[in-house]
């Protein structure tokens, strides 16, 4: 991959590799970050690394790119050398298999993403005063130099904001785009007036879906379960410990260990409590299930869930309806409940396009992946259209 030429200037930009987020001051890093994106904050990335949840041992080796102008950090790109493809949510196992069958080596690869966190948002970070083109070019030079020096098989940009993806494509048209879809709730739908409250939201749905949601919420209540929201400092150590037991249950039920350890959650509770919302389900005043959310300035992000009991509709209540209700009460306009599906669609979550970018050093693999992604994109477009048509909102005349 050729590198673009940086524009000359009185104060040149220098790109360095950070072997850990701790190598840069939190104040410098966070001035690059959109306050609506808690997962890009220094505290979040540091908790991943300092807890050992992200490390060489777990297959995520930090190699963040940082662009400096003198002593000032003016741009950055989260970057990891990946030694496997777990925890990414944009699956490339078939690409790895194809290259290795041909005698090549797929791992390590380069990955720009937030570990274990499939939340769309900007990945190329820079200050508002920076020259965007120059900073992106400096990052590109550092990225391709790393890939060449270490013979990395590929680079993948995952869950990046669409305008960020477009800027990378404009700089390197040969990057391969892969289409995806995720379901998100927005106050007022996509372009209507705000719902006001939960009843206002229900009033916009078809009678069938309105009755379904009311029934599901009633089922939870009829089982004697109550829901409680704990924010920030109100999340006690005991509540966090209970949540972690529930969280690990979700993974153990699938026969695998959890991605994140207890220390990670203790660290984020200590360093970024204002970003945390814990929804706790109680039975006879005893906690039995929990869902942990993160909030930004305009958005709510549903992330982790687990339960110690089998209770009908409790997942929908704790992970979807509580989130919607909280957004409406707090004036948050977007609710991203996580990855996967159709069960979100019928509850008012809109299908939103996702686009990842991929570079492969092996020309044969690049050509094969490009053909695959082109065919996949046609199916994905049809799926998004069908999903939009299946949304449960009332239409005029119906």
- The helix (run of H) or strand (run of E) holding residue 290 is strand 286-295
d(CA 269, CA 236): 9
Q: Which of 54-63, 117-126, 145-154, 341-350 has the lowest mean pLDDT?
A: 341-350
Give the tokens for residue 225: 């379960």
Angle at CA of residue 349, ends 388 and 248, nearest 5°? 135
Going by the DSSP 8-state scheme, the letter that residue 5 receives in this structure is P
Q: Say yes or no to pLDDT of 394 above 60.
A: yes
Q: Are 235 and 276 in contact (CB under 8 A)?
A: yes
d(CA 10, CA 6): 12
- Which of 312, 314, 311, 337 minimizes the C-alpha distance to 324? 337
pLDDT tens per residue across span 162-178: 999 999 999 999 999 99
Position 325 scores a pLDDT of 98
Residue 11 banded pLDDT, cuts 50, 70, 90? confident
d(CA 156, CA 92): 10
Residue 189 banded pLDDT, cuts 50, 70, 90? confident
CA 205 to chain centre: 28
For the chain, give every residue range classified as CATH 3.40.630.30. Answer: 184-347
Residue 342 banded pLDDT, cuts 50, 70, 90? confident
Q: Are 37 and 296 in contact (CB under 8 A)?
A: yes
d(CA 354, CA 179): 6
Position 77 scores a pLDDT of 98
Domain 13-174 in CATH 3.40.630: yes
Percent of the chain, pLDDT > 70? 97
pLDDT tens per residue across span 103-151: 999 999 999 999 999 999 999 999 999 999 999 999 999 999 999 999 9
Give the tokens for residue 140: 């590109």
| Residue whose structure tokens are 């007036």 | 193
Position 131 scores a pLDDT of 95
**Given this structure, which CATH class describes domain 184-347?**
alpha beta
Sheet holding 125-126, edge to edge: 13-18, 64-69, 72-77, 125-126
Angle at CA of residue 238, ends 236 and 244, nearest 5°? 105
Position 397 scores a pLDDT of 46
Q: φ and ψ at 236, to 5 degrees?
A: -75, 165
Position 254 scores a pLDDT of 85
Position 398 scores a pLDDT of 47
Specify the pairing of strand 176-186 against strand 225-231: unpaired
pLDDT tens per residue across span 236-273: 999 999 999 999 998 988 888 999 999 999 999 999 99
Position 3 scores a pLDDT of 44
Position 358 scores a pLDDT of 98
Q: Say yes or no to pLDDT of 9 above 90.
A: no
Position 307 scores a pLDDT of 97
Which position has the higher pLDDT, 8 or 325? 325
What mean pLDDT is reported for the chain? 95
């Amino acid at each position: 991959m050729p590198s673009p030429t940086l524009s000359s200037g009185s104060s040149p930009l220098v790109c360095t590799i950070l072997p850990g987020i701790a190598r840069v001051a939190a104040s410098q890093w966070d001035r690059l970050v959109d306050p609506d994106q808690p997962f890009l904050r220094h505290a979040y990335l540091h908790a991943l690394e300092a807890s050992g949840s992200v490390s060489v041992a777990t297959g995520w080796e930090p190699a963040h790119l940082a662009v400096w102008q003198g002593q000032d950090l003016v741009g950055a790109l989260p970057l990891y050398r990946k030694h496997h493809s777990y925890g990414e949510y944009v699956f490339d196992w078939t690409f790895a298999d194809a290259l290795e069958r041909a005698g090549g080596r797929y791992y390590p690869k380069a990955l720009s993403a937030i570990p274990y966190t499939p939340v769309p948002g900007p990945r190329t970070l820079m200050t508002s005063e920076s020259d965007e083109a120059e900073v992106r070019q400096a990052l590109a030079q550092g990225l391709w130099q790393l890939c060449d020096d270490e013979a990395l098989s590929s680079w993948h940009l995952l869950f990046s904001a669409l305008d960020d993806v477009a800027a990378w494509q404009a700089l390197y048209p040969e990057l391969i785009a892969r289409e995806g879809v995720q379901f998100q709730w927005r106050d007022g739908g996509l372009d209507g007036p705000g719902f006001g409250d939960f009843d206002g939201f229900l009033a916009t749905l078809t009678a069938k879906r309105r009755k379904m949601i009311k029934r599901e919420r009633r089922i939870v209540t009829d089982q004697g379960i109550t829901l409680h929201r704990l924010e920030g400092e109100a999340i006690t150590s005991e509540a966090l410990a209970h949540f972690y037991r529930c969280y690990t249950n979700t993974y153990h039920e699938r026969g695998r260990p959890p991605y994140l350890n207890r220390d990670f959650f203790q660290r984020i509770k200590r360093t970024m409590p204002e970003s945390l919302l814990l929804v706790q389900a109680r039975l006879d005043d005893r906690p039995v299930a929990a869902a942990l959310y993160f909030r930004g300035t305009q958005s709510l992000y549903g992330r982790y869930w687990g339960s110690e009991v089998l209770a009908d509709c409790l997942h929908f209540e704790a992970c979807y309806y509580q989130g919607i209700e909280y957004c409406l009460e707090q004036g948050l306009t977007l609710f991203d409940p996580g990855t996967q599906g159709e069960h979100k669609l019928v509850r008012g979550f809109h299908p939103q396009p996702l686009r990842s970018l991929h570079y492969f050093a092996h020309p044969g693999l690049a050509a094969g992946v490009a053909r695959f992604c082109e065919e996949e994109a046609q199916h994905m477009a049809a799926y998004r259209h069908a999903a939009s048509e299946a949304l449960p909102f009332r239409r005029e005349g119906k």
